[in-house]
Amino acid sequence: MPFKTPIHALRGAAAALALMTACGAASAQDLDLSAMTPEQKDAFGAQVREYLLANPQVIMEAVAVLEQREQAQQAEADVSLVQAHMDALVNDGFSWVGGNPEGDVTIVEFMDYRCGYCRKAHPEVEQLIASDGDIRLIVKEFPILGEASVVASRFAIATQIVAGDDAYKAVHDALITMEGNPGNGPLRRMAETLGLDADAIMAEMDSDEVTRRIAETRALAQSMQISGTPSFVFGDQMVRGYAPLDIMQQIVADVRAGG
């Protein structure tokens, strides 16, 4: 998801830089507007306006600096969130675990079957796991895009409960590429095509256990301030949104290097 600078932040960054530049102040704190007379404030404002009109590029320069600082602060806060919730992320007792269970890097993915970027990420995550060989992948069912998302997640979780992890993986892969809404008919046909007990899975979908698992994952996401999909955790680093394969490979390398 692209960074969007609030208009007040843009104005504040531009004004601060303009104030310092126009007045030759060493820092924004050197300026005491409250000590100025109304006439001095008007003159000062005119100087600021004149400077910005003559040098509009300073606005974007200031915004770029602000963006870098906010991203660094968010990354630091995310590390703390991951560390505080690590046990729930990797040891909840029910989330599907794939890749190399003994891998030296763990990736946790919060996903929604109806999410376009989750669908885009899926083959790249698969390629990353297959090409590396030393990554543990944990999938968190996080349906947030409406009733169709909830139905799909309930079906996947019910499949895991009824038929085990291998069946879950097959259903997971089928659901992430499924066209149209996952109604009872399409889901039943999917189960039958995969050689699964459709009746048992459909009966399990509304069970208390399925409801509990979804609720626990939602509570975890809320605690970690995760509101969109896909969201990833690589080691102790959070990645909010889609990341292409080469970026994921670099993040894995950074995690292994301790960075």
Which has the closest alpha carbon to 103: 123, 140, 132, 139?
132
Q: Tokens 């996080």 appear where?
A: 142
Entry pTM: 0.74
Residue 219 and residue 212 in contact, taking contact as beta carbons nearer than 8 Å: no
Q: Which two tokens stand for residue 170?
A: 């097959």
Q: How far apart are alpha carbons 154 and 211 in whole angstroms?
A: 8
DSSP structural state of residue 205: T
147: closest CA among 120, 174, 182? 182
Two structure tokens written together for 235: 């080691």
Residue 36 has what pLDDT? 82
CA–CA distance, 50 with 52 (Å, rounded to integer): 6
Return d(Cα 251, Cα 99) in angstroms, integer: 17
Partnered with residue 239 across adjacent β-strands are 232
- The shares of helix, strand and coil residues in the chain, as percent rounded to the nearest 5, are 65, 10, 25
pLDDT at position 30 = 57
Bridge partners, 2 (sequence order): none
Using 50 as the pLDDT threshold, list the residues of the chain that sit under it: 1-15, 17-28
Long-range contacts from 72-81, C-beta under 8 angstroms, 24+ separation: 75/237, 75/238, 78/237, 78/238, 78/240, 79/236, 79/237, 79/238, 81/223, 81/224, 81/225, 81/238
Residue type, 121: A
**Domains of the chain, CATH where assigned:** 7-76 (no CATH), 86-256 (3.40.30.10)
pLDDT at 43: 84
Beta-bridge partners for 99? 136
Pairing assessment for the beta strands 135-141 and 105-111 based on DSSP bridges:
parallel
Beta bridge partners of 111: 141
What is the Cα–Cα distance from 41 to 50, expressed in whole angstroms?
A: 14
**pLDDT at 38 (0 to 100):** 87
Q: Identify the DSSP state of 99.
A: E
Alpha carbons within 13 angstroms on the beta-carbon side of residue 176 total: 22
pLDDT at site 58: 76
Mapped onto helix, strand or coil, the DSSP state of residue 102 is coil
